[in-house]
Amino acid sequence: MAPSILHNSALDRDAVWQARVDLAACFRMCDRLGLHEGICNHLSAMVPGSDELFLVNPYGWGFGEVTASRLLVCDFAGNVVAGVGVPEVTAFHIHARLHLRLPRARAAFHTHMPNATALAMLDGPPLAWAGQTALKFWGRIVVDDDYNGLAHDTAEGDRIAASMGDADVAFMRNHGIMVLGRSIAAAWDDLYYLERAAEVQVKALSTGRPLRPIDPAIARIAAAQMREGDPESARLHLESVKRLLMRYEPEFAH
């Protein structure tokens, strides 16, 4: 094993366990909110202290079954360094390449959550900038128009990574959503609010009445205001999620 990769004993550090708990909490809340799809979606996060190992869910387990200890540690070559099982093949080819190609992506959340995915299936820009929540993503999204089927090789993973550019969120046309974060909390916060923004837009469109977009000058100001408080808000949001889960599903942290 390369010297730059953490020795297995380092995987027992407190920071690594906390990352496991945080990521497991995201899986469980995604399950509670219906943001997952069977056993086919995946969330990953880099192992604290490493630039070559990442946590990801094992294939065959639903989001509502994920626990902190059940998460796998994988390297970019496809080896399972810690844990029982293997990652789903598309999870590995997408997430390994994202983390390898985009070091800023300390967390990468890929789901087929219904409302945001519905917008990814439509022609034109996915967000209409007509609701305040959507402005959280002003200037932060990209649309990946090149759906190529399942990601069964590293080439497709590299293509998806390249398509992200400097964006934090990708609407993957005809497919789903990818959210990148500099922390697990940041990725969770964006994933949650992206689906909420998409949900209210879908509801508004369902009335058959035209949307009323926000003036771009105001949208830019509001987006900047949101970004100022995002890191702390995201941290507190995830802490709230963990408190709720400790009440109703405490096994997630085991």
Closest CA to 108 of 38, 152, 172, 155: 172
With a CB cutoff of 8 Å and minimum separation 6, the contacts of 37 are 111, 112, 113
Instruction: Indicate whether 10 pLDDT > 90.
Output: no
pLDDT for residue 150:
85
Note the pTM of the prediction, 2 decimals. 0.93
pLDDT for residue 228:
83
Cα separation, 191 vs 64, whole angstroms: 17
pLDDT for residue 151:
80
Residue 160 — very low, low, confident or very high, per pLDDT cuts 50/70/90?
Answer: very high
Q: For residue 42, what are the β-bridge partners?
A: 110
Q: For residue 177, what are the β-bridge partners?
A: 111, 171
Instruction: Indicate whether 7 pLDDT > 70.
Output: no
Residue 2 — very low, low, confident or very high, per pLDDT cuts 50/70/90?
Answer: very low
Tens digit of each residue's pLDDT (9 = 90 or more) over 198-227: 999 999 999 999 999 999 999 999 999 998
Q: What are the tokens at 163?
A: 């398509």
With a CB cutoff of 8 Å and minimum separation 6, the contacts of 46 are 53, 54, 55, 99, 105, 106, 107
Instruction: At 87, give phi and psi (nearest 5°).
Output: -75, 155
Q: 237: which DSSP letter?
A: H
Cα separation, 61 vs 40, whole angstroms: 9
The number of angstroms, rounded, from the C-alpha of 31 to the middle of its chain's C-alpha atoms is 14
- 253, 21 in Cβ contact below 8 A? yes
| Residue written as token pair 């990468």 | 108
Q: Which H or E run contains 154?
A: helix 154-164
Beta strands in 6-112 (DSSP E): 42-46, 53-56, 72-75, 80-82, 107-111
How high is the mean pLDDT of the chain? 94
